[in-house]
Amino acid sequence: MSQHDEMEIEAEPAPIGKHAPDELLTVGEMSRRTGVAPSALRFYEDLGLIASHRTGGNQRRYPRHMLRRVSLISVAKRLGIPLSDVQTAFENVPLDTTPSHEDWQAASRRWKRQLELRRLGIERLERELTGCIGCGCLSMKACRLLNPDDELGEQGSGPQRLPE
Amino acid sequence: MSQHDEMEIEAEPAPIGKHAPDELLTVGEMSRRTGVAPSALRFYEDLGLIASHRTGGNQRRYPRHMLRRVSLISVAKRLGIPLSDVQTAFENVPLDTTPSHEDWQAASRRWKRQLELRRLGIERLERELTGCIGCGCLSMKACRLLNPDDELGEQGSGPQRLPE
DNA sequence: GTAAAACCTCAAGTACCCTTGAAGTCAAAA
DNA sequence: TTTTGACTTCAAGGGTACTTGAGGTTTTAC
């Protein structure tokens, strides 16, 4: 395996001077840059979370803006956010064209809201636990943590999500 | 085939219609009280996350303190915390005897620390996203969110966890 | 005493989120 | 041009977290 220096990745004839904004990335380059395995990238593409162009030889070529999507997906993964939620967050970010300023702004705000809700859920549980530590009991009666039949504890069975 | 060769926990005649404070719970009662399916309870028991006594007829009977464990497990599920982490959090809480005040206190503190780490990860991402919204870019170069090769983004492939 | 409801085990199935491997193709360096 | 590494698809496998179903037993209620 050849370890290239961090040079400009130019799959196509390089425009003189600066990197092309239209530069396309192979699956391997995408993987190295995002830390997401090629197999996972293909998987995300099957799910429609990301998209690629194909060369004449049927190889994937990703537009640069796809880096953002992949990075956001991997961030979500680290926070335990399911891919279905990621899909929702991406709802109005175009796959086929470079998303506009506004597209990403809107997506950022959606992401932030999601994160905020998750954080609030955690903060609340922290408060409950602090109370439990304070009273030294984890009391079944007093502790909302252990009686979560409120907005946090939607249903009895099945996968559960934080409220949205 | 009945096996009464040893003293087993018998289904005691319940005090008329009401629950005794040291009452043992069947798997069904446990399920109704915690919202966790009986199959999941059995699964947790297989994993060693919870434990039960058995009647002479080999049916599970849960001591009341097991309600806490199950509830905490289901809280963890809601927050996307894997069962392996739950196991860690329970490490020093006895399964066979009613955990003491101090056992639960220590567990509470461990839980709180776990939640705190998770929250901090989220808060950091929120800050990053706020910056991105602010600058209106989600810039690949400026945004740590999209270049997470720091303590949050350990390695390239494989399942990733929040730092602990 | 009997019948229904609740329980038991064990095996297989499901859903998500991928990874691994086989068998073959493409692309760029030597 | 040749070689090699990177790529392709497709099928199967794996970990987590369970659910479902079959076939049988126990407990409870009448």
Looking at residue A61, what is its pLDDT? 97
Tokens of B88: 């860690």
Looking at residue B129, what is its pLDDT? 65
Of the candidates A115, A132, A162, which has its C-beta nearest B108's C-beta?
A: A132
Low-confidence ranges of chain B (pLDDT < 70): 1-22, 125, 128-164
**How far is A96 from A111, CA to CA, in rounded Å?**
21
Q: Percent of chain A, pLDDT > 90?
A: 27
Looking at residue A118, what is its pLDDT? 78
Output the average pLDDT for chain A.
Answer: 71
Write out pLDDT tens, residues A13-58. 333 333 455 689 999 999 999 999 999 999 999 999 999 999 999 9
Looking at residue B131, what is its pLDDT? 59
Burial A88-127 (b: 16+ CB within 10 A, else e): ebbeebebeeebeeebbbbbbebbbebbeebbebbebbbe
Q: Which residues of B touch A111 (CB under 8 A)?
A: 129
Looking at residue A157, what is its pLDDT? 33
Cβ–Cβ below 8 Å for A115 and B104: no
Residue B55 CB neighbour total at 10 angstroms? 15
Q: Is the pTM of this model over 0.85?
A: no
Looking at residue A158, what is its pLDDT? 33
Write out pLDDT tens, residues A53-92. 999 999 999 999 899 889 888 888 877 888 998 898 888 8
Provide the positions of strand D that have an atom within 7 A of a protein CB: 5-9, 16-20, 25-28
Burial A49-71 (b: 16+ CB within 10 A, else e): bbebeeeeeeebbbbbbbbbbbb
Task: Check whether residue A38 has its CB closer than 7 Å to nucleic acid strand D.
Answer: yes
| Interface with chain B: mutation pick from A133, A137, A149, A154, highest number of B CBs within 10 Å | A133
Looking at residue B120, what is its pLDDT? 79
Tokens 């730092």: give the residue.
Answer: B163
Looking at residue A22, what is its pLDDT? 65
A131 or A67, which is more confident = A67
Cβ–Cβ below 8 Å for B79 and A115: no
Looking at residue A16, what is its pLDDT? 35
**How far is A86 from B6, CA to CA, in rounded Å?**
55
Phi first, then psi: give them for residue A138, nearest 5 degrees.
55, 40
Closest-CA distance of chain B to residue A133, Å: 6
**How far is A58 from A55, CA to CA, in rounded Å?**
5
Cβ–Cβ below 8 Å for B111 and A129: yes
Mean pLDDT of all residues in A87-115: 82
| Interface with chain B: mutation pick from A138, A139, A146, A160, highest number of B CBs within 10 Å | A138
Task: Check whether residue A76 has its CB closer than 7 Å to nucleic acid strand D.
Answer: no
**How far is A122 from A73, CA to CA, in rounded Å?**
21
Asked if B68 and A146 count as a contact pair (C-beta separation under 8 A), the reply is yes
Angstrom distance, A97 CA to C29 C1': 33
Cβ–Cβ below 8 Å for B67 and A146: yes
Looking at residue A41, what is its pLDDT? 98
